[in-house]
Chains A and B, each alone.
Chain A
C-alpha cells in the first residue's frame, strides 16, 4: 500500500446473476496478484515476505471469500468489497453500499440490461455510487456490446459512453480497440497476461474513428480544456481520462468497457479504468451524525491525521473468532490504540489489525483514512461506529426500528438445535433489526425482524450455511393494544388464606399517552401507600402492559396516575401491591375503550410503467393508501402505506402481476389503529383461543 489516498480505490462489483461476476472477480484477483508479484520481483520490499511459493500454485483457484479483498494494480490499491445480493431492505445492504466509493456494473453482452440489472442499477443510484460499466461475454453467440451500450442509455437512463470497441465478436473475438489511445489491444500468453498494443486493423478504423468522436463529444462536456483541445485537434489521452473521471465522479457519465473474462480478454483494461475513472476516498463526501448536537450531519475529512472515525460494516465468524471489517473514514486506526464504540460507549484496544488479500491475510500496523481493514477479537455489532475516545459521532443511524414481525422456529433434532443457537447468535450480531427470544408460555424460539422476506433470508441461511433442519411456524404480525379514554381505578387486593395475608389498595386513573409507550406518575400524598411500595405498583402496571386482554399483544401508549391507596401494617407487601396494580389496571382497561394497533409499512414498488395499474390495484386490495407515483417513459415507482398484515406473500403476487419485472421494498413506518371490523375478528380469534386453553 502506497499510503497515498489518491492511490486507493474501494469498489464493488455489481451484477446480474448470469453476467459472469464470479469469473470476472477471479480474473481481477489473478491479474492483480500476478502484477503484484512482478512488482516485488523488481525489488519492492515489505509485503512480499508474507507470501510463500505454495501460493503460486493456488492462484488459479482463488475466489473472493471475504467481505473485502485487497489487491494492487498499477501502483494503486484496490479494495474489492463484496456486495450482498439478498433483499434490499435490510440495514446490511445499505452498509455495504455505503463503504463503496465506486462500482463496476457488469452486464452480459447477450442479455444486456435485464430486470436484475435494473435492481442493481437502482441501488447504485440510490446510494449515489459513481459507476463504470463492463460488458462481459463478448465471446458468446449473439454478443452485441453496442446494443447493450444503447440499453444502458435507454433503459437505465445512464449517460453511457463506449470507451472501447470489440475486435471481432463471438468465436472470432480477438481483442479490444482502446478509443482513448486509439490502439488495438490483444491479450496473449496462456492466460492473457501479455498485453500487446498494435495499430487498429484498417477495416475497423472507420468505426473506431466514429466511436471515438462520439466518445469525445460526450466526455468533453466535462472539461473546457478538453473541448478546446478537441477543436484544435490536440487532445491527449490524459485530458480525455481527466474529463471522463470528473463526469463519472459527478454521477453524470458512465464509461463503458468490454471484454470476455472467461477468455481472458479486456480485464486488465477494466482494472486500468477502475483506477482512472472511479474516485479515491477523498473525492467522495461522507458524513456522520454528531450525537452531542441533535444528530447534526457533519462532513468527515479523509485526513489520516484527523480524529479517528471508522465503521464496522461486516462481521464474519471465523476459526479464530470474530473478524470485524472496518472502513476508516477519518483519521487512522492503529494497532494498540484505543477506540470507543459509540453505540455502547465502551473503550476497546485495537489488537490484531489485518488486511485481507485473495489468498492471505497480512498483519498491518495501521489503516489510514479511506482504507479498509479487519480487526480480530473485537466485540461489536455490524454497523457500530468506532471513534477516538471522547468523540461522539455515529456513521449510521443509531435508531434501530422495533421488529414488526415474528416467527416461531424449532430445530428438528439435537444437532440442529446446537447449530441453530450458533446461527442465531451470529445473525443478531450482524443485524440489529433481527432479534431472537423465547416465548415464556410456549417455550418456542421466536425470531423477529422487519418483514417476511427479512426472516426468510435468515431461515434460508440457517439451512444453507449452518445445515440446520429448521421448522417454521406462520409469520405473526406484532400488533399492539392501546386505550382511547381516561378511566379511574380503585382496586383492593386482599387475601386471607392462613398465615400472613396480602393487602394493597390503589386508587388513580389511566389515560392515553400519545408520546410515550408508558408513563407512571406518583401523586400519592401522606404516605397512604408507603414509599417503599410505589416501585412495586409501577412494576405491577408494567407487568400488565406486557400482554393485553384484547388480542394478547403488548399494550402501549398508557399513562398511569396513582393518587391514593391504602396499606395494612402486617399484610401489605411488594407482592400485594404488584397484584393490586395489575388488578387495578385491568379494572380500568376494560372501560377505557381499548383498541388494536397494527404496524403500517412504507412500501415502494418499482417496475415497468406498463404495469402501474396492476400495482395500484394490488395496493388498494391490501388496505393500502397510495401516497404518490412517479413515472417516466419506461419505469414507474409507487409509494404507498400498507398494513404489514396484508403484505404476506406480496412478492409472489407482484411477480405474477408484472411478469417478474417489478420489485418492492418496505420498511416500518408507524403503528395505526386497525379498522373495527378487522379488530373484531382478531379479538374473536384470540378470545376463542384463550377459552380453548382454559377448558383444556
Chain B
C-alpha cells in the first residue's frame, strides 16, 4: 500500500468534507479543549496528513521542547501505519519529515511580532513553501486579542492556513449553550473553523462548532481513540 492510499482512507477526509474542503488559505482554524485532552495529538495528525500529501508544514510550538514534538510525530506516524497495516519503506518517514520544520518559541520571551517575523523568514529566506502552519500551545485567549488579528492578517498575506490549539483554562462552564468555549467568544469573528474536543461517553469527541460561514453540523462523527490517540471514525 502506498502513502496515497493511507491518505485517502484517513478519517481526516471526513473532517475535510465536513468543513467544505478544508480550512483553506488565509483562514484560522482552532482546536480547543482543556489541557491534556489530546489537542497536540490532533494537531500532529493534521500535520502528518499534509505531509502525506507532500505539502510542507511548519509546526510552531510554545511549550514543548523540540525533541518532544519530534517524538509525537514519530509515534503518531507509527500508529497510523499500524492501523492501516502499512509496512513503510525504511526511508519513508525520513523523507516525509524533510517537509516539516519545527519552530519553538519561548512564550514568555517572544512576542507575536517576533514569531511572525521568524515565520516569514522561514517561508521567504528559508524558501520553505509551507501552506499549513500548526501553532501548538499558543494561548491567545490569555494574551492580547490583537495577537490573533496579527496572525489572521499574516495568514491572508502569505496565503497559508493556520491551526491553533488553545488550552481552555477558565472556570466552569467552559462552554456556552451553543458549545462555544466562553473564553473564545470575543475572538470568534477571527476564527474560521472551530472544533472542540470534549469527553463524552468515555471517548473524546470532536465537535464542529464553527464552519466558515456555514451552519456547523456539530456532530463530526469523529473521536479520539483513547489508547492510540488517533482520530477515528465511529
| Residue contact A631 to B98, C-beta cutoff 8 Å | no
Q: Is B186 positioned at the interface, with any CB of A under 8 Å from its CB?
A: no
B105 cross-chain contacts in A, Cβ below 8 A: 630-632
Identity of the chain B residue whose Cβ is nearest the Cβ of A670 in the assembled complex: B94
Contact of B98 among A616, A625, A628, A633 (CB under 8 A): A625
| Residue contact B106 to A629, C-beta cutoff 8 Å | no
| Residue contact B103 to A629, C-beta cutoff 8 Å | yes
Identity of the chain A residue whose Cβ is nearest the Cβ of B100 in the assembled complex: A627
Q: How far is the CA of A514 from the CA of B105 in the complex (A)?
A: 38
Contact of A609 among B70, B104, B118, B128 (CB under 8 A): B118
Q: Is B66 positioned at the interface, with any CB of A under 8 Å from its CB?
A: yes
Of the four ranges (under 10, 10 to 19, 20 to 34, 35 or more), the interface on chain A belongs to 20 to 34
Q: A626 → chain B, closest Cβ, in Å?
A: 5
Q: Which of A604-650 contact B (CB under 8 A)?
A: 609, 612-614, 616-617, 619-620, 625-634, 636, 639
Q: Is B87 positioned at the interface, with any CB of A under 8 Å from its CB?
A: no
Given contacts A616-B122, A626-B126, contact A631 B101 (CB under 8 A): no
A616 cross-chain contacts in B, Cβ below 8 A: 121-122, 125-126, 128
A617 cross-chain contacts in B, Cβ below 8 A: 121, 125-127
Q: Is B114 positioned at the interface, with any CB of A under 8 Å from its CB?
A: yes
Contact of A629 among B111, B120, B122, B127 (CB under 8 A): B122
A632 cross-chain contacts in B, Cβ below 8 A: 105-106, 109-110
B5 cross-chain contacts in A, Cβ below 8 A: none
B36 cross-chain contacts in A, Cβ below 8 A: none
Given contacts A514-B90, A609-B114, A612-B118, contact A630 B127 (CB under 8 A): no
| Residue contact A626 to B66, C-beta cutoff 8 Å | no
Q: How far is the CA of A633 from the CA of B103 in the complex (A)?
A: 14
Given contacts A514-B90, A609-B114, A625-B98, contact A631 B125 (CB under 8 A): no
Contact of B104 among A612, A629, A633 (CB under 8 A): A629
Q: B102 → chain A, closest Cβ, in Å?
A: 4
Q: B208 → chain A, closest Cβ, in Å?
A: 32
Contact of B125 among A514, A613, A628 (CB under 8 A): A613
Q: How far is the CA of A207 from the CA of B111 in the complex (A)?
A: 35
A625 cross-chain contacts in B, Cβ below 8 A: 98
B16 cross-chain contacts in A, Cβ below 8 A: none
Q: A616 → chain B, closest Cβ, in Å?
A: 4
| Residue contact B109 to A628, C-beta cutoff 8 Å | no
Contact of A633 among B101, B102, B109, B127 (CB under 8 A): B109
Per-residue B-contact encoding for A374-401, CB less than 8 Å = 1, 0 else: 0000000000000000000000000000
Given contacts A609-B114, A632-B110, A633-B109, contact A627 B102 (CB under 8 A): yes
Q: How far is the CA of A614 from the CA of B102 in the complex (A)?
A: 17
Contact of B102 among A612, A613, A628, A634 (CB under 8 A): A628
Q: How far is the CA of A634 from the CA of B114 in the complex (A)?
A: 10
Q: Is B124 positioned at the interface, with any CB of A under 8 Å from its CB?
A: yes
| Residue contact B90 to A620, C-beta cutoff 8 Å | no
Q: How far is the CA of A609 from the CA of B125 in the complex (A)?
A: 14
Q: Which of B83-136 contact A (CB under 8 A)?
A: 90, 98, 101-106, 109-111, 114, 117-118, 120-122, 124-128
Interface residues on chain B, number (Cβ under 8 Å): 24
Q: A66 → chain B, closest Cβ, in Å?
A: 39
Q: How far is the CA of A614 from the CA of B127 in the complex (A)?
A: 12
Q: A521 → chain B, closest Cβ, in Å?
A: 22
B110 cross-chain contacts in A, Cβ below 8 A: 631-633
Q: Which of A629-681 contact B (CB under 8 A)?
A: 629-634, 636, 639
| Residue contact B126 to A619, C-beta cutoff 8 Å | yes
Q: How far is the CA of A628 from the CA of B100 in the complex (A)?
A: 9
Q: How far is the CA of A636 from the CA of B117 in the complex (A)?
A: 13
Q: A224 → chain B, closest Cβ, in Å?
A: 27
Q: Which of B45-100 contact A (CB under 8 A)?
A: 66, 70, 90, 98
A609 cross-chain contacts in B, Cβ below 8 A: 114, 118
| Residue contact A631 to B121, C-beta cutoff 8 Å | no
Q: How far is the CA of A634 from the CA of B108 in the complex (A)?
A: 12
A619 cross-chain contacts in B, Cβ below 8 A: 126
Given contacts A514-B90, A609-B114, A633-B110, contact A628 B66 (CB under 8 A): yes
B128 cross-chain contacts in A, Cβ below 8 A: 616, 620, 626
Q: How far is the CA of A627 from the CA of B103 in the complex (A)?
A: 9
B127 cross-chain contacts in A, Cβ below 8 A: 617, 620
| Residue contact B122 to A631, C-beta cutoff 8 Å | no
B124 cross-chain contacts in A, Cβ below 8 A: 613
| Residue contact B126 to A633, C-beta cutoff 8 Å | no
A639 cross-chain contacts in B, Cβ below 8 A: 66
Contact of B121 among A612, A633, A634 (CB under 8 A): A612
B90 cross-chain contacts in A, Cβ below 8 A: 514
B111 cross-chain contacts in A, Cβ below 8 A: 633
| Residue contact A626 to B104, C-beta cutoff 8 Å | no
B125 cross-chain contacts in A, Cβ below 8 A: 613-614, 616-617, 620
| Residue contact A626 to B122, C-beta cutoff 8 Å | yes
Contact of B106 among A614, A628, A631 (CB under 8 A): A631
Q: B99 → chain A, closest Cβ, in Å?
A: 9
Q: B109 → chain A, closest Cβ, in Å?
A: 4
| Residue contact A631 to B114, C-beta cutoff 8 Å | yes
Q: B47 → chain A, closest Cβ, in Å?
A: 14
Identity of the chain B residue whose Cβ is nearest the Cβ of A634 in the assembled complex: B109
| Residue contact A631 to B126, C-beta cutoff 8 Å | no
| Residue contact B103 to A613, C-beta cutoff 8 Å | no
Identity of the chain A residue whose Cβ is nearest the Cβ of B70 in the assembled complex: A628
| Residue contact B66 to A633, C-beta cutoff 8 Å | no
| Residue contact B101 to A627, C-beta cutoff 8 Å | yes
B122 cross-chain contacts in A, Cβ below 8 A: 616, 626, 629
A627 cross-chain contacts in B, Cβ below 8 A: 101-102
Q: A143 → chain B, closest Cβ, in Å?
A: 29
| Residue contact B121 to A613, C-beta cutoff 8 Å | yes
Q: How far is the CA of A629 from the CA of B110 in the complex (A)?
A: 13
Q: B190 → chain A, closest Cβ, in Å?
A: 24
| Residue contact B101 to A629, C-beta cutoff 8 Å | yes
B106 cross-chain contacts in A, Cβ below 8 A: 630-633
Q: How far is the CA of A386 from the CA of B110 in the complex (A)?
A: 47
| Residue contact B104 to A630, C-beta cutoff 8 Å | yes
Counting chain B CB atoms within 10 Å of each CB, the highest count among A612, A625, A629 belongs to A629
Per-residue B-contact encoding for A255-267, CB less than 8 Å = 1, 0 else: 0000000000000
A614 cross-chain contacts in B, Cβ below 8 A: 125
Given contacts A613-B121, A633-B114, contact A628 B126 (CB under 8 A): no
Identity of the chain A residue whose Cβ is nearest the Cβ of B104 in the assembled complex: A630
A628 cross-chain contacts in B, Cβ below 8 A: 66, 70, 101-104
| A-B contacts besides A620-B126, A630-B103, A631-B118, 5 pairs, CB < 8 Å | A616-B126, A626-B101, A631-B104, A633-B111, A636-B118
24 contacts between A and B (CB under 8 A): A612-B118, A612-B121, A613-B121, A613-B124, A613-B125, A616-B121, A616-B128, A617-B121, A617-B126, A619-B126, A620-B128, A626-B122, A626-B128, A627-B101, A628-B102, A629-B102, A630-B106, A631-B103, A631-B105, A631-B106, A632-B106, A632-B110, A633-B110, A633-B114
Q: Which 6 A-B pairs have the closest CB atoms?
A: A613-B121, A616-B126, A632-B109, A617-B125, A633-B109, A632-B106
